[in-house]
Copies of this chain bind each other. A is one copy, B any other.
Amino acid sequence: MLKRRLMTPGPTQVPEEARLAMARQVTHHRTPEFKRLFAEVLEGLKEVFQTTHDVIALTSSGSGGMEAALANTVPRGDKIIVLEAGRFAERWTDIGHAFGLEVIRHEVPWGKAVDPGDVARLTSEHPDAVAVCSTLQETSTGVVHDLAAIGEVVGPTDALLLVDAISGGGVVECRTDDWNIDLLVVGSQKALMLPPGLAFVAVSDAAWQRIKAVEPQAFYFNLSTYRKKLDGGPDTPFTPAHTLLAALAENLKQIHAEGIEAIWRRARRLARATHAGIEAMGLELFAERPADGVTAVRVPEGIDGLALPKRIEQRFGVKLAGGQAHLKGQIFRIAHMGIIDELDIIGTLFAIEAVLYEMGYQVHPGEAAAAASRVLAAAEEPVVAT
């Protein structure tokens, strides 16, 4: 009789409307009906991503979108700068190496944010770098980077700005065009509230210019091929995961009804309530600059960091994410994106507190939810010491 609550930063909970859309009998995708749906979805995503430029839909995980961004814009042997501040940022480096690029790795300790001043130094030290690769919300550490400031630094240079917003897009403030982001990659299974299977890439005009001039190391991920299919009623070069696109159309209705700026503010409120609850338990946030879509929490001393989320899941059905790579057992992570709401957050804080109490950790049952409730009740923007 355990009720399951998915509180991981991807996959996230999928709204019922989208799930029912996926239960419908499959239709064909080379039809005027599909083109209408696809046009509607692509137009809707532009608002979510705050761009007026093209959005390309790929049937792949988010990593496929990152590969598309790099393999179409940077020829073999050329130099890129990777702002490596977590496990997902490392993926840019891995892709760069796979395609024979020269990678300048700017390694930032996990949990810290990228300093835009460092980016300015790096771009001036490496004027021949053709791309700067960053993450928006680094899901592995719960950090959000200051992409507005990074974009201001990269904008005037010749380098393109490539941003992995796989988990951030649609939940964390992101003004793609205003912030000079040339290629923004977003995944389906995060704030867009879908199952995994789609990646989206927003492509600036400057990026298209570069793409035209570069021999792509790509076939399935050749962005020009996708671009050609956008004209005259958008279509796709390869069979798309069109049942996910139909489900996305459902989710976009809800996203647009609320408005993207309101969604960003809601996520921030949930994040701050989460922070307040965490601090009320005497725990510490892991991120120096906490993201609005996911909160990473240090496992307190004396508590088994692998057992904690497992016990929370077994006892309450609440699925949290643990730490990855060297952070395994060191942190746990709580998502606040998509349809995760205030009750989910209050309930999750209760569950964490209850299990910590059972594990003998010094907490006072009720304080976490109370602290979070006070933040959620406050009419004005709450002040939280993070």
A157 at interface, CB cutoff 8 A: no
Chain B residues in 8 Å Cβ range of A27: 4, 6, 11, 319
CB A2 to nearest CB in B, in angstroms, measures 12
CB A278 to nearest CB in B, in angstroms, measures 21
Chain B residues in 8 Å Cβ range of A195: 22, 26, 241-244
Chain B residues in 8 Å Cβ range of A95: 219
Task: Scan A70-104; emit 1 where CB is below 8 A from any B CB, else 0.
Answer: 01000000000000000000000011001100000
Do the beta carbons of B4 and A244 come within 8 Å of each other?
Answer: no
Task: Scan A303-341; emit 1 where CB is below 8 A from any B CB, else 0.
Answer: 000000000000000010000000000000000000000
CB A14 to nearest CB in B, in angstroms, measures 5
| Docked complex Cα distance between A11 and B245 (Å) | 15
| Docked complex Cα distance between A64 and B99 (Å) | 17
In the complex, residue of chain B having the shortest beta-carbon distance to the beta carbon of A319: B28
Say which one of A54-62, A169-177, A262-270 lies at the interface with B: A54-62
A197 at interface, CB cutoff 8 A: yes
CB A83 to nearest CB in B, in angstroms, measures 19
A240 at interface, CB cutoff 8 A: yes
A13 at interface, CB cutoff 8 A: yes
Given contacts A11-B28, A22-B23, A28-B6, contact A67 B197 (CB under 8 A): no
Do the beta carbons of B29 and A4 come within 8 Å of each other?
Answer: no
Q: Which residues of A in the span 183-203 have a Cβ within 8 Å of any Cβ on B?
A: 187, 189, 195-197
Do the beta carbons of A220 and B221 come within 8 Å of each other?
Answer: yes
Chain B residues in 8 Å Cβ range of A64: 59-60, 220, 238
Given contacts A11-B26, A61-B240, A319-B28, contact A98 B218 (CB under 8 A): yes
A25 at interface, CB cutoff 8 A: yes
A10 at interface, CB cutoff 8 A: yes
Partner of A99, one of B28, B197, B219, B319: B219
Chain B residues in 8 Å Cβ range of A319: 27-28
A8-B28, A98-B222 given; name 17 further pairs at CB < 8 Å: A4-B27, A11-B27, A13-B26, A26-B189, A27-B319, A59-B59, A59-B61, A59-B64, A60-B64, A62-B239, A95-B219, A98-B216, A187-B239, A195-B242, A195-B243, A197-B243, A220-B221
